[in-house]
Amino acid sequence: MKTIRPGQLVYWRDSASIVVELKDLIEAVIRKIEDGSIEVVRCADLRFSPEVDTARDSSHLTQDQAAWDETLEKFSVIKPLLHGRRSMEDVKNAAERSGKSVPTIYRWLKRYEKTGLVSSLSKSTRFDKGQGRLSKEIEEVIDEQIETYYLKKERRNVTQLHTRIKEICLSRSLPEPHLNTIYGRVSNIEDGVKIKKRLGSKAYRDTLLPTIGKFPSADYPNAVVQIDHTPVDVILVDEEHRLPIGRPYLTIAIDVATKMVTGFCLTLDPPSALSAGLCIAHAVQEKSNWLAKRDILAEWPIHGKMAKIHVDNAKEFRGNMLMRACALHDIVLEYRPKHQPNYGPHVERAFRTFMTECHTLEGTTFSNVKVKADYNSEQKACLTLDELELWFTTFFVYSYHNSKHSGNGGIPPIKKFSQLVYGSESQLGVGLPARVSDEETFRLDFTPYLERTIQQTGALVNYIHYYSPVLRKWIKAMDQNTNKVKKFIFAYDPRDISVVYFLDPDTKTYVPIPYLNSARPAISYWELKAALKRIKNDPNNDPDEDAIFQGVMKMRKIEESAIESTRLAKAQRAREKRSLRNVQRRRQSLGAHQKSQSESPVDVHEDSDPFGEVIIPFDDIELG
């Protein structure tokens, strides 16, 4: 796992630089290689490679299972070489085990480390697009001369290497490769290999490889993250009428090494693959802008891709979407062994802490009926979903992260994180987690998707038509493998299906595609399902776009009417209660007066009592 630490080669605004010092959890001091100048920059702005379009590649969705398995097999060859130190001997051993050449292994490493995506190893991803294929004999000449002529202490340049290769090809009656081809092959050589072989081991150690040990299991931030769901012990109210709408569900991601909350998701819908995916995306997100939008002036420094996600055996964690997205980003998805509930104590202990804190809120349901007693949770409810999200965020970053944690030996999570980043007397620091280069594409990789053809009216996704000019070139495109109309990937966020995301086969990037009919209102996937259910229950109706939106609007009116009826009924009950209390107070007052009269020595006539009749206050006065 890549981290930002002193001595690390990074890119700031596409300028190669070396990290000199980590000032704190937010900023770093770097030295630019180009001119040696010193800059103080935000750690979130540092990258491990120049900005390239391939970092947005989501071609894993366009591959069939056989091609994807082949890609994963390539990745399994280089995966042991990605973490910690790796020597030339390690690369040679990997080449021997896989039956590939050493330069091929280096090319795979270069491709993966350039993008961080497993899909960069697939055959469909061409890094030499537009160039002719070279014969095996020429490839062998290039590989041999790079190894024996270029990667030497004499530090010959690429032009000299090209001249040498031309001479050998001429002597063997082989076509000579273009200079640009040689430049491309040299650029694919790992920086560490170039420095070590051309400048020596000392330059390699001083420049690129600060000494860090290997970390077993969950000994550093983002090594292992546990994710789980729980219903929250609080009744929420809706935004408009502030009426009770039920309990939400909380999905959290806990970093096992530090016990920090890396991310969370709050939803009114039951746990699903979507809530798990949204939680993972939030955990990976660099959160400074997210906090600023909520006017929270606190640090939440943990972000970046985790090495392993640990979950229970619930069905929402076993979907194909979640498993393939984790495989794409080289995240190990590990399931809790069955019948071993003690295998996931960190996230469950966190839930107990969070729910205990929730019991102080208005509208809490408490943990059980006995504790709740006669507390009316619905009547006391006052928080909306957004307000509870803000409350949880504030609690996490101000209170929980800064409180002593028994799982850390009494050390607060934020302090434990700082110790692991900077190091202590007993262990070396690992540096700050690296930021994911394209957080939006990462999020979309963890959302549901469908395969659909593209027609003159665009794409029909969930009975709704979507269109954008970007789809025009793909209308009725044919699949050369099946000789049928080609299907394309469309990802969608169930919370708002007014837009779907088309995976462009050319750029391998997601492109937002709106409704064909822009007058349609934004709806959720759950509203769509409810409308379809109503339509299908009527044998005279067939699902179509107009019927769906008519159904959604009708259901919204029913909901609004029900809310208004509930509000009026509550107001009526409140008036009745006030009237009853007034009657009771009047009778109590009358009783006290009659008692004082009976004790009086003065004889009072029976008909002279002006309070003999109970006067009930009227609620409404009819006029005319």
| Residues making up the chain, counted from first to last | 624
Torsion of Cα atoms, 146 then 147 then 148 then 151, to 10°:
80
Edge-first strand order for the sheet with 27-32 is 38-42, 27-32, 15-22, 9-12, 46-47
Tell me, what's the pLDDT at 390? 92
Give the pLDDT confidence of 299-349 residue by residue, as tens digits. Answer: 999 999 998 998 887 777 877 788 888 888 888 888 876 655 545 567 778
- Give, as one character, the DSSP assignment of residue 515: B
Q: How far is 99 from 494, CA to CA, in rounded Å?
A: 45
> Average of pLDDT values for 460-473?
91
CB 260 within 8 A of CB 302: yes
**Residue with structure tokens 């009426």?**
243
Single pTM value for the model: 0.62
Residue 612 is predicted with a pLDDT of 45
Average pLDDT value for residue range 476-484: 86
- CATH numbers and ranges of domains, the chain: 224-439 (3.30.420.10), 448-522 (no CATH)
The answer to whether residues 258 and 420 touch, using CB atoms and an 8 Å cutoff, is yes
Buried b (16+ CB within 10 A) or exposed e, 511-537: eebebbeeebeebbbebbeebbebbee
- The 10 Å Cβ neighbour count of residue 611 is 12
* 19 in Cβ contact with 37 (< 8 Å): no
pLDDT of residue 546: 80
Phi, psi at 186, each rounded to 5°: -65, -40
Residues 580-600: tens digit of each pLDDT: 666 666 666 666 555 555 554
- Among the residue ranges 81-85, 264-268, 317-321, 467-471, the one predicted with the least confidence is 81-85
User: What average pLDDT does range 138-160 have in this prediction?
Assistant: 88
Residue 11: what pLDDT? 83
Task: Give the count of alpha carbons within 13 A of 500, CB side only.
Answer: 28
pLDDT tier for residue 51 given thresholds of 50, 70 and 90: low
Angle between helices 273-284 and 320-328 (to 10 degrees): 20
DSSP character string of 170-220 = HHTT-PPPPHHHHHHHHHTS-HHHHHHHHH-HHHHHHHT--------SSSS
Digit-coded pLDDT (tens) for 518-541: 888 888 887 888 788 877 777 666
The chain-wide mean pLDDT, for the chain, equals 79
